[in-house]
């Protein structure tokens, strides 16, 4: 606006200011001094004006930077604006910037500014014009142009790559294979009171008989826990024990042999061993009230399997 030969007095002293230097800094600039907005088309920059002189006021109200949008044509006298009609509050160009700081050292006034321009690039090389002013006695009509520079913007920088999708949850482990059995299960009964010739157990006067039952079956993938191999002691016929055991099968109404108990049909000890091809389940128990139907009581040991399936 006003030329440098116009006189300005502050506190009755003549203010002398030369034409200064102005620099603009931003993080996105190429070797030709052309800047780029960020990937969201916002352009943030810092500017510094250095003016030599004396007797100027260092209040922030005395120093301003004018930021003007010239458009997609280079800035000249046709598209720059006078200081007096520039809006007072800087939001988007055209506007005025208030200095961040003012320093006077070695007869030089150093003012710093910063701003962010939204929607900065207009689809082609975009030109802005930045000028530093000293406002004599705080009167806009007496603003003195001390330095100026052009800012040219190219298209925005590329945006960051999209975030990687979250990793897929791990696949659930495959279910364990089902138990497979083959061949015919074999069972045997042993007792201290077993007649090795007749294969019958003679009941002592206590009517209590220790028994060891062994079941052997070929198979794979079965569990070998004691709870997986339940067994029952069944009295055959009606009344119970009165008839031979033919096609005797599991009876849900009869309790299973359980480890650690000693009662009628209860198991004292049991063990399951797998040798690579066969499962051998052994049950040791005491059969109380053994003779139900004199003179012979028929009983059967029924063994089952309870696994994943």
Q: Look at 229-233, 236-240, 246-250, 272-276 and tell me which has the smallest mean pLDDT.
A: 246-250
**Cβ neighbours of residue 287 under 8 Å, at least 6 residues apart?**
208, 209, 210, 211, 233, 264, 265, 299
Q: Is a pLDDT exceeding 90 seen at residue 54?
A: yes
Predicted TM-score (pTM) of the model is 0.52
For residues 111-135, average pLDDT:
92
* pLDDT the model gives residue 264: 52
Express each pLDDT in 224-244 by its tens digit.
777 788 777 888 877 877 888
Closest CA to 45 of 115, 143, 144, 133: 115
SS (H, E, C) 168-234: CCCCCCCCCCCCEEEEEEEEEEECCCECCCCCCECCCCCCEEEEEEEEEEEEECCCCCHHHCCEEEE
Query: What is the mean pLDDT of the segment spanning 114-136?
Result: 91
Q: What is the mean pLDDT of residues 81-106?
A: 83
Exposure string of 79-90, with b = 16+ CB inside 10 Å and e = fewer, is eebebeebeeeb
pLDDT at 308: 45
The pLDDT mean for the chain works out to: 83
Confidence of residue 128 (pLDDT cuts 50, 70, 90): very high
For range 130-139, the mean pLDDT? 87
Burial class (CB in 10 A: 0-12, 13-18, 19+), 293: middle
Asked if residue 16 has pLDDT above 60, the reply is yes
Cα separations in angstroms, 100 against 49, 106, 114: 12, 20, 7
Q: What is the pLDDT of residues 148-202, one digit of tens each?
A: 888 999 999 998 888 999 999 999 988 878 888 877 778 888 899 988 888 888 8
């Amino acid at each position: 606006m006003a030329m440098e030969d116009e006189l300005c007095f502050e506190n009755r002293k003549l203010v002398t200011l030369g034409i200064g230097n102005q620099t603009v800094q931003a993080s996105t600039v190429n070797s030709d001094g052309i800047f780029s907005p960020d990937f969201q088309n916002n352009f943030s920059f810092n500017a510094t004006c250095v003016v030599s002189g004396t007797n100027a006021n260092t209040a922030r109200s005395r120093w301003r930077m004018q930021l003007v949008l010239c458009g997609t044509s280079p800035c000249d006298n046709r598209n720059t604006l006078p200081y007096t009609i520039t809006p007072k509050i800087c939001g988007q160009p055209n506007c005025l910037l208030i200095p961040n700081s003012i320093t006077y050292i070695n007869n030089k006034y150093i003012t710093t500014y910063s701003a962010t321009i939204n929607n900065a690039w207009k689809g082609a090389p975009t030109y802005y014009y930045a000028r530093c002013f000293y406002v004599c006695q705080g009167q806009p009509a007496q603003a003195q142009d001390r330095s100026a520079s052009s800012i040219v913007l190219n298209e925005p920088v590329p945006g960051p790559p999209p975030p990687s999708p979250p990793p897929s949850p791990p696949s659930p482990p495959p279910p364990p294979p089902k138990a497979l059995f083959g061949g015919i299960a074999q069972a045997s009964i042993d007792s201290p009171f077993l007649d090795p010739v007749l294969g019958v157990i003679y009941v002592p006067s206590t009517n209590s008989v220790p028994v060891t039952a062994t079941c052997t079956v070929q198979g794979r993938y079965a569990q070998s826990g004691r709870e997986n191999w339940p067994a029952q002691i069944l009295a055959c016929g009606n009344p119970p024990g009165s008839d031979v055991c033919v096609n005797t099968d599991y009876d849900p109404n009869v309790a299973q042999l359980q480890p650690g108990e000693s009662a009628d049909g209860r198991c004292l000890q049991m063990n399951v061993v797998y040798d690579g091809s066969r499962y051998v389940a052994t049950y040791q128990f005491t059969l109380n009230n053994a003779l139900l139907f004199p003179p012979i009581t028929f009983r059967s040991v029924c063994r089952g399997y309870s696994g994943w399936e």
